[in-house]
Structure 1
Amino acid sequence: MSIFVRDSGDLRRIVRELRAMDDKKLKAKFRRELRKAAQPLVPKVRRSIRNIPSQQAYSPDGLRAALARATRIEVKTSGREAGVAIRVDGRKMPSRMKSLPSMVEGTKRWRHPVFGNREVWVDQPKQPYFYNAVRTAGPLARRAVSRVLDDITREIS
């Protein structure tokens, strides 16, 4: 599960310019500012995950805690894939739970046996947590990324 904030080529153009300049401090500042622009989305997604309805109380060892721990920011500044991603990364989930982020959201079907009985299977209802949380804060993050792009463009010029 991820949302990727992209700009129409401006981000890639700036990355190319920074690579040509070979200014490590400016590159580091650019990545740091992009990360800071997207940072407010992470607590919103984690709060949304913790508020998923459940019969059980919130546990630091449970599924919701694992989903919250797997939520992170990824900044890519390679030439082809430049952007900022908020990701609930299945690779950061415990073993045998790697596909659960998309199953809980409802983008994949989630079936399981009833109390381990492999003869009887049920569909687990989806509990959307990711897209609802970022939909409201997404425009603010895009504006913050645009401000970062403008600032770096001024510094490059």
Structure 2
Amino acid sequence: MATGDLSEEIRKLVKDLGKIPPELRKQLRPALKAAAEPIVTDARGRASWSMRIPGAITLSVRMGARNPGVSLRVRRAKAPHGRPYEGITGRTSLRHPVFGHRDRWVTQPTKSFLAPAAEAGMDGVLGATAAVVDQVAREQGFR
């Protein structure tokens, strides 16, 4: 599946999620969380070079009408270096002083851990999501 097709499918699903009745959302939330949990595990493994980042990675599922979806985050309070290492700032490298020497700076490449994990697990999550949506729809009498 091409990336453009995938993003269009996700946009359509997000738009359609706003139309789902509240009782269906309650059934979908735990299933979506379970489907995305392998991505969290993968991201934690990819960030195992850090002592703080793996424990700061969280998964949230929102089913509100305005912004439904599944998101992975790195809590800034627990791992403030997670965002620069992921490359979210738009840079491919980061600069920082050498420990104990404020006058010596080094350039270090970013080590993306969230994006590769999300990309690697996307097909599994989409498949599991489609299966859950189909199951819930059948339980509610849809064909």
Normalised to the residue count of structure 1, the TM-score between the two structures is 0.69
Corresponding residue SS for 1:146: helix
Partner Cα distance (1:39, 1:87) in 2: 13
Q: Which structure is higher in RCO with an 8 Å CA cutoff and minimum separation 6? A: 1
Match of 1:75 among 45, 55, 61: 61
Counterpart of 2:13 (choices 6, 10, 27) is: 10
Give the whole-Å Cα distance in 2 for the aligned partners of 1:127 and 1:11.
29
Q: Structure 1 residues 8 and 129, CA, compared in 2 at 3 Å: closer, same or farther? A: closer
TM-score by length of 2: 0.75
CA-based RMSD of the aligned residues comes to 2.4
Partners of 2:96 and 2:70 in 1: CA distance? 34
3-state DSSP class of the match of 1:27? helix
**Residue range with higher mean Cα deviation, 41-50 or 103-112:** 103-112
How far apart in 2 are the matches of 1:112 and 1:153?
Answer: 52
Evaluate the alpha carbon distance shift between residue 7 and residue 126 of structure 1 in structure 2; reply closer, same or farther with a 3 A threshold.
closer
Q: Which 5+ residue runs of structure 1 have no aligned equivalent?
A: 53-63
Q: How many angstroms apart in 2 are the aligned matches of 1:154 and 1:12? A: 20
Q: Any idea what the Cα deviations from partners look like across 1:91-117, whole Å, max 9, x if unmatched?
A: 4x1xxx42x112112333532222333
Q: Which residue pairs with 2:83 in the alignment?
A: 102
Tell me, in whole angstroms, the C-alpha distance in 2 between the residues paired with 1:68 and 1:139.
23
Percent identity of equivalent pairs: 26
Aligned AA (2:107): D
Deviation at 1:137, TM superposition (A): 1.7
Change (3 A) 1:112 1:14: closer
Moved more, 67-76 or 26-35: 26-35
